[in-house]
Structure 1
């Protein structure tokens, strides 16, 4: 399988996992009566999983010491996502919560690519690309209103 198809398949699996993560952790938070505690458990399991993969592939954290501090904010962003989806999904619905996450991702990805932010590959925001991103956001919107009375 070509590398780009492998990458696409992995990211598709990750995308499938986001609503599953939201539903499972929201349920755990509701079961526990403490969404923040459910997030802590999620991160403990995630840490153990990432550590196992890192150990299997050659753990070396020395290079992190020289990284610019702003690069570590990604951990805060993932914590914000997990805490917010765990708290909001049971009240707002997994579909509604993930809908807004996806729209935010489409907007953010377009901006990051266009300006090459954070060292990302520059992919210009052409009118065709803008139309495609708008169509994606519009499609997401349609999925939310389609089943409503």
Structure 2
């Protein structure tokens, strides 16, 4: 079953790559903030109808969720805004490479300390070396 989740993650990554260029183009036409809003609004509408027709959870349990778990939407909005702003300036690949390094860096910190209730996975020197190589790769790619 892990292969299914891995393939789904791969497709999600492909979607992010497409989203970067599509939202960047939208931002050129309507403005950065406006494009971010439009993108999030359409996504919100799509999720609303998905939950309405296919949802199996309990959306009313939101009052029982730790407040820290509610910042995901803000982080997502910030991410979309950054992608709309940055992609037209440095390109899709450079943007995604830098985003991926940022994701891996914060993911390593979260894993190492078990932040937000996650499992702990030690940050070893080989992981640091890999991140440094990726940062060098981003620098060389953008040079």
In structure 2, the partner of 1:47 is: 44
The answer as to whether partners of 1:106 and 1:137 remain within 8 angstroms in 2 is: no
- Structure 1 position 94, deviation (Å): 2.2
Kindly state the Cα deviation for residue 36 of structure 1 after the two structures are TM-superposed. Answer: 1.1
| Cα distance, 1:54 vs structure 2 | 2.0
Superposed CA offset, 1:28-83 (max 9, x none) = 11122x12111111111111222233231325212211112121111111111111
Offset from partner CA, 1:76-96 (integer Å, 9 cap, x none):
111111111102211222222
Structure 1 stretches lacking a partner, 5+ long = none
| Alpha-carbon distance between aligned partners in 1 of 2:57 and 2:39, rounded to the nearest angstrom | 22
Residues 1:5 and 2:27 are matched in the alignment: no
Which of 70, 80, 88 in structure 2 is aligned with 1:90? 88
* Aligned residue-pair number: 142
| 3-state SS in 2 of match to 1:121 | coil
Instruction: Quote the offset at 1:121 in angstroms.
Output: 1.8
Contact 1:26 1:86 in 2 (8 A): yes
Distance 1:97 1:127 in 2: 26
TM-score for the superposition, normalised by structure 1: 0.83
Q: Which residue of 2 aligns with 1:74?
A: 72
Distance, in Å, in 1 between the alignment partners of 2:5 and 2:138 is: 23
Judge which range, 9-18 or 86-95, deviates more: 86-95
Q: Which runs of 5+ in 2 are unaligned?
A: none
Instruction: Find the residue that maps to 2:86 and give its secondary structure.
Output: helix
What is the TM-score when the length of structure 2 is the normalising length? Answer: 0.86
CA distance in 1, matches of 2:85, 2:104: 23
Judge which range, 75-84 or 48-57, deviates more. Answer: 48-57
- Could you say what the CA RMSD is over the residues aligned between the two structures, in angstroms? 2.0
CA distance in 2, matches of 1:113, 1:35: 33
Determine the structure 2 residue equivalent to 1:103: 101
